[in-house]
């Protein structure tokens, strides 16, 4: 039996991924030069450079936790899982975010842990309601 939080986190991630894709397409359809430039800059920021893209995603995760943006946490967790970071490495990074951000980050840490568990379950192909 899957824990209730895992079912909720899995459903949230699926909805987040679908909504993000739909709204990004809507934004791209606007075809505004400034918006397009910002999106391009954002994408370029996470490419390999002096730091590997994998490391930059981890930095994005910590920054997102400190800035208390759950959508950003989810996005960067997805990228970090795809990049191959282990749970132990991600937990260390989340700890840095908690220490830097303080106790106000705790609700977002809870969200991050639930999302990470859901991402791992999804990657393993486990159904949400097993």
Q: Computed from CA positions of residues 16, 124, 53, 88, in that sequence, does the dihedral angle turn out positive or negative?
A: positive
Rg of the chain over Cα atoms, rounded to whole angstroms, equals: 15
Calculate the CA dihedral of residues 6, 12, 18, 23 and round it to 10 degrees: -150
Contact predicate 106/98, CB 8 Å: yes
pLDDT of residue 127: 53
pLDDT tens digits along 5-39: 999 999 999 999 999 999 999 999 999 999 999 99
Average pLDDT over residues 69-88: 97
pLDDT of residue 130: 41
Q: What three-state secondary structure class fits 127?
A: coil
pLDDT tens digits along 36-68: 999 999 999 999 999 999 999 999 999 999 999
pLDDT tens digits along 90-128: 999 999 999 999 999 999 999 999 999 999 999 888 654
Mean pLDDT over each residue of the chain, to the nearest integer = 95
pLDDT of residue 129: 44
pLDDT of residue 125: 84
- Buried b vs exposed e over 14-35: b needs ≥16 C-beta within 10 Å? eebeeeeeeeeeeeeeeeeeee
- Domain coordinates in residue numbering, the chain: 4-46+53-123
- Model pTM? 0.90
Top CATH class of 4-46+53-123 equals mainly alpha
pLDDT band per the 50, 70, 90 thresholds, residue 82: very high
């Amino acid at each position: 039996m899957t824990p209730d939080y895992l079912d909720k986190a899995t459903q949230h991630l699926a909805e987040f991924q679908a909504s993000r894709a739909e709204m990004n397409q809507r934004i791209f359809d606007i075809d505004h030069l400034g918006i397009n430039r910002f999106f391009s800059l954002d994408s370029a920021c996470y490419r390999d450079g002096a730091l590997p893209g994998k490391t930059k995603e981890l930095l994005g995760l910590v920054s997102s936790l400190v800035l208390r943006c759950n959508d950003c946490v989810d996005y960067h967790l997805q990228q970090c899982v795809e990049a191959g970071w282990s749970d132990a490495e991600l937990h260390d990074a989340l700890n840095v975010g908690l220490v830097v951000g303080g106790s106000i980050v705790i609700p977002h840490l809870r969200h991050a842990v639930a999302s990470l568990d859901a991402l791992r379950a999804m990657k393993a192909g486990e159904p949400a309601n097993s």
